[in-house]
Amino acid sequence: MKKLLNELNPQQREAVLYFDSPLLILAGAGSGKTRVITYKIAYMVRELSFSPERILAITFTNKAAREMKERVEKLLGSDVPVFVSTFHSFCVRLLRSHAAKVGLKPNFVIVDTEDKKRLLKEVVKELNLDTELYSPSALSSVLSNIKNGTFSLDSAQVYYDRISPIFELYNRKLKELNAVDFDDLLLYGRDILSDERTRSYYERYFQYLLIDEYQDTNRIQYEIARSIAGRKGNICVVGDEDQCIYTWRGANIENILSFERDFKNAKVIKLEKNYRCTKVILEAANAVISNNRLRKGKRLYTDNQTGEPIRLFRAETDSEESLFVSKAIKNLIKKGISPKDIAVFYRTNSLSRSIEDALRREGISYQIVGGVKFYERKEIKDILAYLRLSLFEEDLISLFRVLNVPKRGLGSAVEERLRRITERERSWSGVLSKLEGELRMEKQRRAVRELRETLEILKGKTSELSPYELIKFIVTVTNYEDYLRNEFKEDFEQRLENVRELGNTIQEFSERTGLKGEELYLDFLTTVTLSSDQDEIENAEKVTLMTVHASKGLEFPVVFVTGLEEGVFPHFKSSDSSEEIEEERRLFYVAVTRAKRLLTLSYAKKRRTFGKLRDTKPSRFISEIPSNLIKEVKKRTRGETLREKTENLEIEKSRKPKLVFHKKYGKGVVKRVDGRGENAKVTAFFSNYGEKTIIMKFLKVLA
């Protein structure tokens, strides 16, 4: 252990060895906080004789929890059962053990985002409300904010005057379905721990509590932490107020700012040495974040090299910005930088489209984090619904999903009849038996009977078959392959391959966890439902595109931060208060400190919004970086290649009409360009001949 401690800097070592009172570790970006947490756990087990299973370490994503657990196992061995979890996963375990305390059964279902919206759609319909005014997506967000304490039910009346009956009916339906949503997991976890006897048990059981990313905790998570830490004060939290970027979903920056007030005799240790960034990048980050008022204060430093200046590109239009980014990436790849070491950030997902187009034109492979996740694909959700039904008799949400998948001729009238039956019958076998008895058409009765028999067949297979064979069996008995072939002719093979990959994934999960049978599938389904965007990142030779929010906790040698305009970044919705602008500044600080070696910033003087190019102003955050740290990238004005001329047609015509000349048709005005280089197809309007589409090599671009 002494050798391990020698690997730490003085501040890290102090944090690992301190146990005299509650401890707040203020860990700046790239300061080695995960190393401190894992070494602290190893020190407790090896030197202080803590029972590893009675140490609770909590972080915010499955990916972070998995990586932390792996690093602990490297230090202590894979057979040491340290409890590393997310808040939500911890509460799932609490609920499985104490479900009756909150009126649930242990085999409750966790509804995902799509299921939640479907349920809200039913609620709106049942209350005879306007489906356009009361959209499931907007309602989902409002209800989540009510549950996590961002605002009260009364204050939510500002958004919807009927929010109270919606909230009440939605929660009642969840209870009837023995289901919970993401926010319920935390609420029920807190409620379970509010019972004095239960709270006292867990306070005694867990000898030490460590919480990572403490700045992201909301009010409910704070209360859970207080309950477990209890009066002992055996708690260590690690966080950075300068990286608090989730207040819009309930994170409370006051939790970290007020730690010394909330926990008596608390100790604060700052980790300010950065191991990730160059001196230039770090100096820029320090300069920007120093403009914030809501912070405890620290200044990061590094022994790394000075590094290259931060590059700044001022594009005329958003198309030109995307073209610049794609060409810059292509040049970096030519110089030997791996695509997986390059990331492009933007403030909102809508900004990715033009960047994607430009990367495709250059033939550069990329992955989007926060796009359609693997587990959100229709075919995956369909098969998982059948898997859930084989495990849970009362999972009526999954029953509605598979009622007509594959198609069985059971239309909306049958679905409505089924919905009425579920008001008095709770198991799918009972529901389907009653439905079969009520239907008059023999074809529909047979379809319902076959579905019930199929589910009965699946019921006992989770303990008989390996995960891969089970998924294969589900596909076979439901005729799902034929369904995919008939419904999705163009991408049938890809969808079927996704289903096969699901079998591989569960098989790997079983081998990694050692779980079998029903316990395996319960744990797997929980993990899938609670997955985050970062869980979808491939370790492939691809450039990564993501929002800045999704980038937190990651790092890349090369980073492009795009769309740096007022109203975009900072976002126009954040301009109403200084607190919101400070959060936008923290978000920019996160973006900057993801870059290890090379950072490029860009903005467009004109950006297309609502179909028109509109003037913009550069983001205030650019001006907060000292000018001596920035090198402006100039646009090429001479020696433009044929390919560049082709690609720039799109940019130029968005600013002014672009003219081309053809020997037969004369002068024409460009309307569209498809492809690139000399074989690009240019659609232009010629005054005497109308609209023509001509290969680029037969045209001359006029200045």
> Among 76, 38, 62, which Cα is nearest to 236's?
38
Q: What is the pLDDT of residues 435-463, one digit of tens each?
A: 999 998 999 999 999 999 999 999 878 88
Of 33, 267, 347, 388, catalytic:
33
- 3 state DSSP class of 334: helix
The pLDDT-based confidence of 373 (bands split at 50, 70, 90) is low
Tell me the DSSP string of 626-663.
-GGGEEEEPPP-SS--HHHHHHHHHHHHHHS--EEEET
Q: Which residue has the higher pLDDT, 579 or 673?
A: 579
C-alpha to C-alpha distance for 395 and 387, rounded to whole angstroms: 11
Kindly tell me the sign of the dihedral angle through the C-alpha atoms of 128, 129, 130, 131: negative
Hey, where are the domains in the chain?
Answer: 1-95+200-272, 109-177, 310-373+536-632, 375-514, 659-702
Active site residue 198: no
The most confident of 105-109, 141-145, 335-339, by mean pLDDT? 335-339
Sheet holding 208-211, edge to edge: 83-86, 55-59, 208-211, 235-239, 23-27, 267-271
CATH no. of 1-95+200-272 = 3.40.50.300
Phi then psi for residue 272, to 5 deg, are -115, -5
Q: Are 564 and 602 in contact, with CB atoms under 8 Å apart?
A: yes
Look up residue 89 and give its amino acid: S
Please state the rounded mean pLDDT for residues 126-140: 88
Please state the rounded mean pLDDT for residues 535-550: 82
Binding positions for ATP are: 27-34
Q: Are 65 and 85 in contact, with CB atoms under 8 Å apart?
A: yes
The pLDDT-based confidence of 638 (bands split at 50, 70, 90) is very low
C-alpha to C-alpha distance for 289 and 29, rounded to whole angstroms: 12
> Among 393, 364, 317, which Cα is nearest to 562's?
317
Q: What is the pLDDT of residues 255-304, one digit of tens each?
A: 999 999 999 999 999 999 999 999 999 999 999 999 999 999 899 999 99
Of 86, 243, 247, 444, catalytic:
243
Question: What pLDDT does residue 107 have?
Answer: 87
Q: Which two tokens stand for residue 25?
A: 């570790």
C-alpha to C-alpha distance for 424 and 39, rounded to whole angstroms: 54
Query: Left if phi > 0, otherwise alpha if psi is -120 to 50, otherwise beta: which for 270?
Result: beta
C-alpha to C-alpha distance for 342 and 388, rounded to whole angstroms: 39
Please state the rounded mean pLDDT for residues 132-137: 86
pLDDT over 50 (residue 652): no
- Which run of H or of E encompasses 239? strand 235-239
Q: Which two tokens stand for residue 631?
A: 């090198």
Binding positions are: 27-34
Active site residue 213: yes
The reply to whether domains 1-95+200-272 and 310-373+536-632 share a CATH topology is yes
Give the CB-side neighbour count of residue 603, counting CA atoms within 13 A: 19
Question: What pLDDT does residue 640 have?
Answer: 47
pLDDT over 90 (residue 88): yes
Mean pLDDT is lowest, of 24-33, 210-219, 278-287, 636-645, for 636-645
Do the bridges between strand 23-27 and strand 267-271 make them parallel or antiparallel, or are there none, so unpaired?
A: parallel
Give the CB-side neighbour count of residue 385, counting CA atoms within 13 A: 25
Q: Which residue has the higher pLDDT, 642 or 115?
A: 115
Eight-state DSSP code of residue 309: P
Q: Are 603 and 315 in contact, with CB atoms under 8 Å apart?
A: yes
The pLDDT > 90 percentage for the chain reads 61
Of 112, 181, 184, 212, catalytic:
212
Q: How far is CA 614 from the centre of its chain?
A: 31
- Which run of H or of E encompasses 56? strand 55-59
Eight-state DSSP code of residue 464: T
Tell me the DSSP string of 394-410.
T-HHHHHHHTTSS--S-
pLDDT over 70 (residue 641): no
> To the nearest whole number, what is the mean pLDDT of the chain?
89
pLDDT over 70 (residue 320): yes
Please state the rounded mean pLDDT for residues 144-162: 85
Active site residue 493: no
Active site residue 33: yes
Of 14, 34, 254, 655, catalytic:
34
Question: What pLDDT does residue 651 have?
Answer: 44
Residue written as token pair 């939640």 = 116
The pLDDT-based confidence of 636 (bands split at 50, 70, 90) is low
Of 267, 347, 594, 653, catalytic:
594
C-alpha to C-alpha distance for 459 and 429, rounded to whole angstroms: 11
Q: Which two tokens stand for residue 317?
A: 């239009």
Question: What pLDDT does residue 673 have?
Answer: 80
Do the bridges between strand 700-701 and strand 690-695 make them parallel or antiparallel, or are there none, so unpaired?
A: unpaired
What angle do helix axes 279-289 and 578-592 make, rounded to 10 degrees? Answer: 170
Please state the rounded mean pLDDT for residues 187-193: 96
Q: How far is CA 583 from the centre of its chain?
A: 19
pLDDT over 60 (residue 648): no
Q: Which two tokens stand for residue 457?
A: 């067949």
Q: Are 660 and 700 in contact, with CB atoms under 8 Å apart?
A: yes
Of 112, 184, 213, 393, catalytic:
213
Residue written as token pair 């001509």 = 694
Q: With respect to CATH, is domain 375-514 assigned 3.40.50.10860?
A: no
Question: What pLDDT does residue 505 have?
Answer: 85
C-alpha to C-alpha distance for 393 and 90, rounded to whole angstroms: 24
Q: Are 60 and 549 in contact, with CB atoms under 8 Å apart?
A: no
Q: Which two tokens stand for residue 8?
A: 């730490």
- 3 state DSSP class of 98: helix
Residue 85's DSSP bridge partners are 58
Residue written as token pair 């030109």 = 320
Tell me the DSSP string of 147-195.
HTTSS-TTGGGGT-TTHHHHHHHHHHHHHHTTEE-HHHHHHHHHHHHHS
CATH no. of 109-177 = 1.10.10
* Alpha helix segments (H runs only) across 304-441: 318-334, 352-361, 378-391, 396-402, 412-421, 428-438
Q: What is the pLDDT of residues 490-517, one digit of tens each?
A: 778 888 988 988 898 898 888 878 888 8
Residue-wise burial string across 80-112, b where 16 or more C-beta atoms lie within 10 A, e elsewhere = bebebbbbbbbbbebbeebbeebebeeebbbbb
Q: With respect to CATH, is domain 310-373+536-632 assigned 3.40.50.300?
A: yes
